[in-house]
Amino acid sequence: MSLNTTIINKQTKTGDHTSLFLYRKYTRGGITVARWSKKLKALFKIMTRFSSLNFYITIKRLMDIGGALVAMILLSPVFIITALAILIEDGRPIFYNQVRVAKWGRLFKMYKFRSMYRNADQIKENLDSDNMTGGVIFKMKQDPRITRTGRIIRKLSIDELPQLWNVLVGDLSLVGPRPPLPAEVKEYNQWHRKRLEVKPGLTCTWQVSGRSDIDFTNQVKLDIDYIKNQSLLTDLLLLVKTVPAVLSGKGAY
Higher pLDDT, 172 or 5: 172
More confident residue, 101 or 21: 101
Does the predicted model carry a pTM greater than 0.75?
no
Question: Residue 64 has what pLDDT?
Answer: 97
C-alpha span between 201 and 235 (Å, rounded): 10
Higher pLDDT, 57 or 13: 57
At 3 the pLDDT is 46
Indicate if the pLDDT at residue 95 is higher than 90: yes
The arithmetic mean of pLDDT across residues 24-35, rounded, is: 62
Residue 8 confidence (pLDDT):
46
- The string of pLDDT tens digits covering residues 30-48 is 666 666 667 667 665 665 5
Question: What are the contacts of 50-54 at 24+ separation with CB within 8 A?
Answer: none
pLDDT-based confidence at residue 212 (cuts at 50, 70, 90)? confident
Residues near 101 by Cβ (< 8 Å), separated by ≥ 6?
Answer: 107, 179, 180, 181, 182, 184, 185, 196, 200
**177 in Cβ contact with 223 (< 8 Å):** yes
What does the pLDDT read at residue 211? 76
- Residue 52: the pLDDT is 75
Query: What pLDDT, on the 0 to 100 scale, is given for residue 145?
Result: 86
